């Protein structure tokens, strides 16, 4: 008799309400165990559809619940074969027996129309999986609910490798919205410190941490500094002002309340220094262009030569004879406001700080040192590449930082737009060579700020970033202010999964050139082990790679090779876990790690088996880099292939 069914039966016989209450407490659903609970155990789940914006989310939630039952009863859950999640992904209704819903009504579910749907789940046991001696399992397997659901549904190879970052703004800052983004695959929540108040940011960070702690998500938090840039302070209108061809405007740093007609207020006192009559001022990389016709003290009188819209906080760039006059580097990379935002981020325990307008490696090194002295946890510093100056010093900046964001928005102000695709490819390549995670940011799905579907060109742009093996893709206004943030996230999710599958099917892996990173012998050994591990996993067609790592180094070295199977990184360090969230193909798990590596490996495999996430016959490549401690003197670097018994 399968153990789980027996346990459930026993539980129901003793107290039929216990199970119902247990399930009820798992959140959101009204659930009712059916009176007949012979094997296989059947219970029905009824959910209010308005809580969910897509069938995949609904089923994800169910699987999260069922996953908890598996943990509770130490058994394996089998999903009814009739429930095919993939059918829901592209909007095809799932309407086979067992699951009913009306796609038309589903679409209106966001307007909170209550539609009830019912699904029957079958709960059973896979004979070879349940450990008889569940007491022998030590510790808890820190799997996040979303990866667990994805793994159950899609299997090892179906796990998405490209990570997703969402900018949080007014459109998605409620706990419900944040949870929907987490369920939709958000790995990192980004907060742009340019916008909104300290209290607002604190509230969002705390909500994300609450979701992680109480509901088992694993969403990292990134703050993004405002940085120093020459931009328009205010032009006196809530949205935008039109500049007509030939109109004369006054550019000043004089401070005044309200608006003045034909006046642009710049934020930086020295904005006009070194600027000559005849130079051009460009708004937001091309929204409107002005020619300087007169210098009046520190101010400039300018004529509009290319009419367009002047948006709030528009970025200003200066051009002479078709060449950029670089002025932003005159400003400090971190302003006093940025430092105070960084202090705030450290005190709130954020995982990443993205540094705007980095122009050299020293600024990054300085911030990294500062953060490491101020915070007991490891906070990763990402350098944003968004200026010509940064492109000139790309390698040293990448080397100095913990990761890179290709900030295409501001970069497009300083370099011609047609250069963005090749520059992006170059930056992703350098980052991979130097083993630093790279985020491709800005305007990936810009049209979805307004519309519920992306343009074909946007999908092609997303696919290109995935093809280039970027570690992560980022949403900006699409999630921060747009009404279709969850849909935009779903587009990133589906497009990256599809592109990754295509890459594997077509065997498109571009092999990493053998650039050796490590300078010491142990580092070089670790690197070679990881390169071999990735090659072996591909060549032997293994199901997964397990890596045991305290600081994440081995996990990232394997990820750098972009192997076919997913990488499960077992770590006992929660900062490492949160940092690995940005790394291509890595699913980080928090576990207890002892000095006994054999015990770590068998313990974690037992735990994962007990959850039903791995089965007999699955093949796993196990890599470890546990470094010596006071009790063990030897470095434990190993690689082995295990077939699950």
Binding site for ligand PEP (CB under 6 A): 192, 224, 356, 386, 407-410, 441-442, 476
Residue 437 binds what, of ligand ADP, ligand PEP, none (CB under 5 to 8 Å, by partner type)?
none
Looking at beta carbons only, is 407 or 526 nearer to ligand PEP?
407
Looking at beta carbons only, is 407 or 614 nearer to ligand PEP?
407
Residue 386 binds what, of ligand PEP, ligand ADP, none (CB under 5 to 8 Å, by partner type)?
ligand PEP
What is the nearest approach in angstroms of ligand ADP to the Cβ of residue 467?
23
Looking at beta carbons only, is 477 or 588 nearer to ligand ADP?
477
Mark out the alpha helices in 274-349 (DSSP H runs). Answer: 336-348
Residue 196 binds what, of ligand ADP, ligand PEP, none (CB under 5 to 8 Å, by partner type)?
ligand ADP
Q: What strands lie across the sheet with 280-283, from one edge to the other?
A: 232-234, 263-266, 248-252, 299-306, 288-296, 280-283, 316-320, 323-325
Looking at beta carbons only, is 222 or 555 nearer to ligand ADP?
222
> Can you give the length of the chain in residues?
645
Residues sharing a CB contact under 8 Å with residue 88, sequence separation 6 or more, in sequence order: 54, 55, 56, 59, 94
Candidates 192-200, 416-424, 516-524, 568-576: pick the segment binding ligand ADP (CB under 6 A). 192-200
Looking at beta carbons only, is 391 or 481 nearer to ligand ADP?
481
Q: What strands lie across the sheet with 586-590, from one edge to the other?
A: 586-590, 567-571, 544-548, 619-626, 636-643
Q: From residue 210, give the alpha-carbon distance in Å to each of 178, 193, 219, 223, 227.
A: 11, 21, 10, 17, 29
Looking at beta carbons only, is 222 or 346 nearer to ligand PEP?
222
Beta pairing class for 380-385 and 352-355: parallel
Indicate whether 412 belongs to the interface with ligand ADP (CB under 6 A).
no
Candidates 148-156, 187-195, 269-277, 490-498: pick the segment binding ligand ADP (CB under 6 A). 187-195
Among 195, 303, 426, 551, binds ligand ADP (CB under 6 A): 195
The span from the CA of 258 to the CA of 264, in Å, is: 12
Among 192, 493, 553, 575, binds ligand ADP (CB under 6 A): 192
What is the nearest approach in angstroms of ligand PEP to the Cβ of residue 68?
37
The span from the CA of 447 to the CA of 81, in Å, is: 37
Residue 408 binds what, of ligand ADP, ligand PEP, none (CB under 5 to 8 Å, by partner type)?
ligand PEP
Residue 407 binds what, of ligand ADP, ligand PEP, none (CB under 5 to 8 Å, by partner type)?
ligand PEP
DSSP E strands, 267-347: 280-283, 288-296, 299-306, 308-310, 316-320, 323-325
DSSP E strands, 341-470: 352-355, 380-385, 403-407, 438-441
The span from the CA of 573 to the CA of 564, in Å, is: 26
What is the nearest approach in angstroms of ligand ADP to the Cβ of residue 576?
27
Residue 170 binds what, of ligand PEP, ligand ADP, none (CB under 5 to 8 Å, by partner type)?
ligand ADP
Q: Which of residues 139-178 bind ligand ADP (CB under 6 A)?
A: 167, 169-170
Site string for ligand ADP, 451-480 (x = CB under 6 A): -------------------------xx--x
The span from the CA of 367 to the CA of 358, in Å, is: 11
Which of 62, 35, 64, 57 is CA-nearest to residue 46?
62
Q: Are 400 and 365 in contact (CB under 8 A)?
A: yes
What is the nearest approach in angstroms of ligand PEP to the Cβ of residue 409?
3
Which of 371, 378, 394, 410 is CA-nearest to residue 227?
410
DSSP 455: -
- Closest residue to ligand ADP using C-beta atoms: 476
Indicate whether 532 belongs to the interface with ligand ADP (CB under 6 A).
no
What is the nearest approach in angstroms of ligand PEP to the Cβ of residue 442?
3
Record the tokens describing residue 406, joined without a space: 């290709």
Looking at beta carbons only, is 72 or 195 nearer to ligand ADP?
195
SS3 241: strand
Indicate whether 194 belongs to the interface with ligand ADP (CB under 6 A).
yes
Residues contributing to the site for ligand ADP (CB under 6 A): 167, 169-170, 192, 194-196, 409, 476-477, 480-481
């Amino acid at each position: 008799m399968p153990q789980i069914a027996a346990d459930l039966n026993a539980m129901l016989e003793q107290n039929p309400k216990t199970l119902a209450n247990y399930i009820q407490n798992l959140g959101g659903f009204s659930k009712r165990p059916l009176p007949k609970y012979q094997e296989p155990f059947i219970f029905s789940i009824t959910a209010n559809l308005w809580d969910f914006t897509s069938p995949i989310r609904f089923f994800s939630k169910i699987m999260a619940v069922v996953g908890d039952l598996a943990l509770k009863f130490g058994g394996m859950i089998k999903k009814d074969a009739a429930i095919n999640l993939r059918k829901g992904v592209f909007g095809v209704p799932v309407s086979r027996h067992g699951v009913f819903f009306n796609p038309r009504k589903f679409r209106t579910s966001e307007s909170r129309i209550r539609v009830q749907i019912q699904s029957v789940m079958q709960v059973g046991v896979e004979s070879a999986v349940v450990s008889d001696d569940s007491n022998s399992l030590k510790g808890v397997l820190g799997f996040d609910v979303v990866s667990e659901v994805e793994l159950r549904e899609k299997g090892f190879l179906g796990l998405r490798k490209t990570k997703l970052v969402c900018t949080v703004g007014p459109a998605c800052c409620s706990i419900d919205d944040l949870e929907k983004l987490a369920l939709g695959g958000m790995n990192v929540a980004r907060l742009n410190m340019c916008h909104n108040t300290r209290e607002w940011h604190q509230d969002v960070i705390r909500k994300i941490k609450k979701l992680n702690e109480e509901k088992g998500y694993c969403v990292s938090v990134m703050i993004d500094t405002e940085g120093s840039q020459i931009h328009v302070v205010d032009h006196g209108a809530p949205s935008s002002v039109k500049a007509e061809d030939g109109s004369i405007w006054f550019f000043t740093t004089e401070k005044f309340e309200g608006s003045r007609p034909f006046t642009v207020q710049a934020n930086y006192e020295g904005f006009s220094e070194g600027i000559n009559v005849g130079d051009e001022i460009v708004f937001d990389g091309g929204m409107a262009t002005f020619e300087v016709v007169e210098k009046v003290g520190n101010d400039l009188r300018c004529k509009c030569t290319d009419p367009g819209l002047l948006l709030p906080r528009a970025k200003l760039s200066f051009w002479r004879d078709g060449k950029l006059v670089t002025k932003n580097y005159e400003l400090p990379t971190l302003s006093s406001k940025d430092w105070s935002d960084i202090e705030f981020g450290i005190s709130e325990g954020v995982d990443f700080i993205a540094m705007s307008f980095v122009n050299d490696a020293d600024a990054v090194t300085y911030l990294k040192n500062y953060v490491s002295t101020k915070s007991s946890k490891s906070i990763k510093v990402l350098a944003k590449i968004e200026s010509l100056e940064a492109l000139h010093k790309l390698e040293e900046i990448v080397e100095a930082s913990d990761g890179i964001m290709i900030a295409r928005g501001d970069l497009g102000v300083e370099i011609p737009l047609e250069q963005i695709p090749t520059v992006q490819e170059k930056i992703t390549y350098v980052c991979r060579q130097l083993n630093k995670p790279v985020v491709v940011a800005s305007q990936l799905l810009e049209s979805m700020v307004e519309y519920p579907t992306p343009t074909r060109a946007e999908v092609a742009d997303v696919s290109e970033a995935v093809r280039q093996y970027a570690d992560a893709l980022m949403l900006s206004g699409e999630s921060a202010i747009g009404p279709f943030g969850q849909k935009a996230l779903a587009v990133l999710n589906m497009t990256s999964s599809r592109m990754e599958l295509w890459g594997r099917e077509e065997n498109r892996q571009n092999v990493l050139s053998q650039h050796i990173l490590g300078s010491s012998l142990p580092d070089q050994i670790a690197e070679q082990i990881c390169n071999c591990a990735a090659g072996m996993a591909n060549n032997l067609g293994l199901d997964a790679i397990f890596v045991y790592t305290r600081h994440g180094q081995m996990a990232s070295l394997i990820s750098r090779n972009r192997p076919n199977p997913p990488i499960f990184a077992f770590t006992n360090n929660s900062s490492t876990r949160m940092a690995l969230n940005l790394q291509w193909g890595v699913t980080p798990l928090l576990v207890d790690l002892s000095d006994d590596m054999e015990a770590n490996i068998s313990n974690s495999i037992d735990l994962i088996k007990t959850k039903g996430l791995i089965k007999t016959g699955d093949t796993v490549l196990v890599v470890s880099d546990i470094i010596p401690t006071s009790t063990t003197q030897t470095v434990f670097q190993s690689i082995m292939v295990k077939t699950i018994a």
